[in-house]
Amino acid sequence: MTTSVLDREPMTDTPAAPTRLLSAGPAAPGQEAAWNQFTKLPPPTRTDERWRFANVKDLDLGAYLPPLPFDGAVREDLLTRSRGVEKSAGRMVFANDQLLTREVFADALSRIGVIWLPLERAMTEHPDLFQQYFMREEAILGGQKFAALHASQVRTGTFLFVPRGVEIDLPIEAFHWLHGDNGSCFPHTLIVAQERAKVTFVDYYESADANAPGLACAVNDLWLGAGASVTYVCAQNWSRQALAFQMNATVVGRDAWARSLFAQVGSRHLRTESVSHLRAPGGRSDMLALTVADDAQEVDARTFQIHEAPNTASDLLYKNSLDDSARTIFSGLIRVDPGAQQTDAYQKVRNLLLSDEAEANSAPGLEIKADNVRCTHGATSGQIEQEELFYLMSRGISKRAAQKLIVHGFLQEVIDRLEAPAIGKKLAEMVQAKFAAHA
Amino acid sequence: MSTEQLTQFDIDRTRGDFRYDVKHEFDAGTGLTHDTIDYIVDVKGEPDWLREWRHKALDIFLAKPMPTHWASKDLENIVFGNIRYYLAGGQKASRSWEDVPDDMKRTFERLGIPEQERKYLAGVEAQFDSEAVYSNIKKAVGEQGVIFVGSTDGLKEYPEIFRKWFGKVIPTGDNKFSALNSAVFSGGSFIYVPPGVKVKHPLQAYFRINAENFGQFERTLIIADEGSEVMYMEGCTAPKFETATLHSAVVELVALKGAKIQYVTVQNWSANVFNLVTKRAIAHEEAEVKWIDCNIGSRLTMKYPGVVLKGRKARGEVVSIALANDGQHQDTGAKMIHAADETTSNIVSKSISIGKGRATYRGLVHVPKHLKGCRNNTECDALLINSTSRTDTYPAITVRGTGNACQHEASVSQISAEQIFYMQQRGLTEAQAMSLSVNGFVNDLVRQFPMEYSVELKRLIDLEMEGSVG
């Protein structure tokens, strides 16, 4: 990561014999320690509670190659396909961990103090700031090995620093493309919002070819200073053959409000880990996710709401719709540390099963070590109510269309919680497209 | 069992750490080896198949790791080498009333337990009256063809029924502690209820304890034949003075077509006991099994009564109350394995954590493929009394297919300050108000216990609540 990808042209020649990722070593000399850690850590086993229910056999990385080169035509194609919301403050587009473009659309991004750079430039231009926040929170939900892999391979990504009191109204977007067969990418997003800063950020994860096998291992970390407000959306639509990991840490300061939404549509096997640290009084974290799983997809989501200080709140809502032989896992924990009085924590997972082969696993957990708290969780698994279906069909809507409508309504509740209509529309389209492809 | 019988067997007492404590008539000494197993089998005069079975169980026990990858690390503090696995005969008189701690004596007084009874409850002396009561119950149910004997008698007198179900609901290798129990079990009940018989009296281990020494590794097997009904109660409602450090029971229930079994436990071990119990039932077509479970004592309790819903329309229920005080960890819960269409299950768990106590709910609900019309409902409520109290909830729910519905809800709260204020303003002390509030919290569950149990349960909760305020 010592040389900036901005300084070099995208590679155009194809190397003769591709080296596999597992024998490629770290991306840069500075990432050796992480590589060593990655190779040393054992692969996950099912007897590890943090991998309970998961199909750990699916996690073999042997087939994958380091980020692949691509040509100019691909570059043009991916740039035109990188369509986000109508009005954004700016966007960066990455493909196979190379920056394709960085565009500023709103003055807010050029304001004094705002740093919005590809990761490798932030590292060299703002080393202190970078070191202070880059992967400072350990992956504690079982994915250390994959976090180490990410740290050893990360080449670029978004670094966004919003200084004290600056509010950026329009969302900022980043597109990460995975191109080629068996290639890999390691998207990284690091957002630091200082006191009273406000920002909305959207990551789009997509594959150029919806059926190409590949590996994506992403990390996104959010840091909120006192009174800051960050809305983070991750729209994941990797190829149907991709193996993907996502690791998120959200650190919430005093009176700050973090809101994150993970929309999971793509991947063959997806593992997500999301941790909210409520580190100072008055902090709040809303953790949202929706999953549209079909075919033989496995979506394995682990969450952790850690209330480290008094008077903090967290509210988690994960909704899964499962069709065909899809499997989902939700394993979440609320922990209230001793002394974190007046905690208000909520956790809810809802599974909608649409086929007889689908399987939903839920393990919502609580660990409460303070007494003056309100902590509740709920998990439900069920199917479409026959009455609802009947009602819609009696209005002349076909069974198939009625089912889709109901599933949409089910997932829309999560999207609405964002209170960001433009992004919500984009997410709804993504869900719609998956349904259309399924029919 | 007599000493003559013992001398028939030539036991090598010098091998390994196998020691013989002469103070007791039959004592397998401390520590657990294959010699211990042979000793138990010889003393009890058990058949060869059981000897083999016990030896195999010991191998499994030794091979299995502690389940500390999910369970409390406190398990590592159990020193298996320091435990006596079999005692019989002279051990009853080994304690005197003077050995009973003062706080225990005060508790008995507060509970209004008569002098004679107190001594019994403290494990100091056998209660003579209860012998008669036990005989009466035995006579009444015996006329209906009900078999109600100790597990040792059961396997000797009714081998054809016993062997058919023994170890079938909970296989030896189910977990480390079921393997331990399988290796060294003694005591426990064997009950068989013939088809169509509805047992009016609850059958109580409380009374039977005196007839046969209730072990720390008891094994209970209850078979309710087609259309029969039975209620079984174990434990006692007053604090039991117990020097044992490990209690590891296995309880197997079989409810055949249309049968109903209710199993009531009130556990109140002293605070140095590891209470690691495996309880499971199989419910056949249209059968109903209900576990009513109350855990107040012990240092660490790990107990997750389960029902395998094997037949269509079977129903399983677990009602659980746990109260964890200082130094206690109540790790309790339920397992519901749905294995047939239209099976339903319900879990209601309420826990109270006082002082530094920790109450944990751990649950498993499994609805595998291609089933239709299965329903599960789980509710867990936890009440925290002090700022140092702790509670956890770890459910795991797996549902496959479109024909089923599961819901799980849990909440954690504390006693409302307004309620306490209101009651204090009406002249109650803070402690009284807290007690009342806690009793209110569990009231709907306590009412499901048999009358005499629920009354004493309330008193016990009052006692536990004492001194927890402020």
pLDDT, one tens digit per residue, over B325-335 is 999 999 999 99
Q: A67 CA to chain B: closest CA distance, Å?
A: 37
**Residue range A416-437: mean pLDDT, rounded:** 94
A378: nearest CA partner in chain B: B409
Find, among A156, A155, A139, A157, the residue nearest to A147 by Cα.
Answer: A139
Q: What is the pLDDT of residues B98-156, one digit of tens each?
A: 655 566 566 556 555 555 455 444 443 333 344 445 556 667 778 889 998 888 888 88
- B77 CB-contact burial (10 Å; exposed 0-12 / middle 13-18 / buried 19+): exposed
Chain B hits for A49, CB-CB cut-off 8 Å, are 69-70
Alpha-carbon distance of B371 to B340, in angstroms, equals: 6
Tokens at residue A162, please? 């919003």
β-strands B246-247, B203-204 pairing: unpaired
Any B CB within 8 A of A171 CB: no
- Test the A interface: residue of B398, B416, B438 with most A CBs within 10 Å: B398
What was the pLDDT predicted at B270? 76
* Cα gap B70→B63, rounded to integer Å: 18
Same domain, residue pair B117 and B228: yes
Quick one: B403 and B447 in the same domain? no
Q: Say what the pLDDT of residue B335 is.
A: 96
Specify the amino acid at residue A285: S
Show the tokens assigned to A271.
Answer: 């593992």
Rounded distance, CA B361 to CA B379, Å?
10
Q: Mean per-residue pLDDT for A370-391?
A: 91
Statement to judge: residues B224 and B290 lie in one domain = yes
The closest CB to that of A368, out of B369, B370, B384, belongs to B384
Smallest Cβ distance to B70: which of A49, A370, A379? A49
Strands A183-185 and A214-224: what pairing?
parallel
Say whether residue B349 is in contact with chain A using an 8 A CB cutoff: no
Percent of chain B with pLDDT over 70: 77
Spatial contact of B281 and B307, defined as CB atoms under 8 Å apart: yes
* DSSP string of B159-202, one letter each residue: HHHHHHHTTTSS-GGGSHHHHHHHHH----EEEEE-TT-B--SP
Contact A397, A405 (CB under 8 A): yes
pLDDT digits (tens, 9 = 90+) for B2-21: 334 333 333 333 333 333 33
CB contact under 8 A, B399 and A359: yes
Alpha carbon distance A4, B122 (integer Å)? 78
Structure tokens at A333: 């924990």
Asked whether B148 and B137 are in contact (CB, 8 A), the reply is: yes
Q: A139-143, B197-201, B268-272, B369-373: lowest mean pLDDT where?
A: B268-272
Chain A residues touching B385 at Cβ < 8 A:
371
Q: Residue B91 has what pLDDT?
A: 36
Tell whether B55 and B144 lie within a shared domain. no
Burial of B161 (0-12, 13-18, 19+ CB in 10 A): middle
pLDDT for B19 equals 33
For residue B95, give the DSSP letter. Answer: -
ipTM over 0.95: no
A199 touches chain B (CB under 8 A): no
Q: Do A367 and B390 touch (CB under 8 A)?
A: yes
Residue B458 and residue B413: Cα distance in Å, rounded? Answer: 20
How far is the alpha carbon of B258 from chain A, nearest alpha carbon, in Å?
28
Share of chain B above pLDDT 90, in %: 45
Instruction: Give the pLDDT score at B124.
Output: 39
B404/A382 Cβ within 8 A: yes
DSSP H or E stretch at residue A240? none
CA distances from B3 to B22, B25, B213 (A): 12, 8, 17
H/E run at residue B152: helix B151-157
Does residue A410 surpass a pLDDT of 60? yes
Cβ of B397 and A379 within 8 Å?
yes
Is A353 in contact with B412 (Cβ distance < 8 A)?
no
Q: What is the pLDDT of residues B56-95, one digit of tens each?
A: 999 999 999 999 888 999 999 888 888 878 766 433 333 4
pLDDT in tens, B390-440: 999 999 999 998 888 999 999 898 888 888 999 999 999 888 888 888 988
**Minimum distance, in Å, between the CA of residue B428 and any CA atom of chain A:** 23
Whether A432 and chain B come into contact, CB under 8 Å, resolves to no
Interface of B with A in 47-106 (CB under 8 A): 69-70
User: Does residue B224 sit in the same domain as residue B294?
Assistant: yes
Percent share of chain A, pLDDT over 70: 96
Chain B positions touching A360 (Cβ under 8 A) are: 397-400
Judged by a CB distance cut-off of 8 A, whether residue A36 touches chain B is: no
What distance in Å separates the CA atoms of residue B28 and residue B9, rounded to the nearest whole number? 14
Same domain, B305 and B172: yes
Residue A353: list chain B partners with CB under 8 A: 399-402, 404
Residue B1 · residue B46 · CB < 8 Å: no
If one counts the domains in chain B, the total is 3
Token couple for A350:
């809802």
Query: Dihedral of CA A30/A31/A33/A35: which sign?
Result: negative
H helix runs in A315-398, sequence order: 386-394
Give the number of other Cβ atoms within 10 Å of residue A318's Cβ: 28
Please tell me the distance from the alpha carbon of residue A379 to that of residue B22, in angstroms, as a whole number.
57
Name the residue of chain B whose CA is nearest to A379's CA.
Answer: B408
Vertex A252: Cα angle to A247 and A255 (nearest 5) = 155
Output DSSP code: residue B306: E
Ranking A178-192, B232-246, B415-429, B433-447 by mean pLDDT, the lowest is: B232-246
Are B289 and B178 contained in the same domain?
yes
pLDDT band at A255 (very low <50, low <70, confident <90, very high): very high
B384 touches chain A (CB under 8 A): yes
User: Do B278 and B259 share a structural domain?
Assistant: yes
Residues B316 and B421 in one domain: no
B380 and B424, same domain (yes or no): no
Residue among B28, B32, B60, B448 nearest B262 (CA): B448
pLDDT for res A245: 98
B382 touches chain A (CB under 8 A): yes
CA A319 to CA A288: how far, in whole Å? Answer: 8
Inter-chain CB proximity A353 and B402 less than 8 Å:
yes
| Higher pLDDT among residues A260 and B248, named by residue | A260
Are B325 and B273 members of one domain?
A: yes
CB contact (8 A) between residue A353 and residue B400: yes
* Burial label, A436 (beta-carbon count in 10 A; 0-12, 13-18, 19+): exposed
What whole-number distance in Å separates Cα of residue A408 and Cα of residue A418? 16
The pLDDT of residue B415 is 84
pTM: 0.86
Which residue range is the domain that position B65 belongs to?
3-94
Which sequence spans correspond to the domains of chain A? 5-280, 384-439
Q: Which of B185, B130, B123 is nearest to B154 (CA)?
A: B185
Q: Which neighbouring-strand residues pair with A178?
A: A207
Q: B-contacting residues of A 354-413, CB under 8 Å?
A: 354-384
In this prediction, residue B234 has a pLDDT band, given cuts at 50, 70 and 90, of confident
Sign of the alpha-carbon dihedral angle for B57, B58, B59, B64: positive
Lowest mean pLDDT among A76-85, A256-265, A429-438, B46-55: A429-438
Q: Do residue B72 and residue B133 come from a single domain? A: no
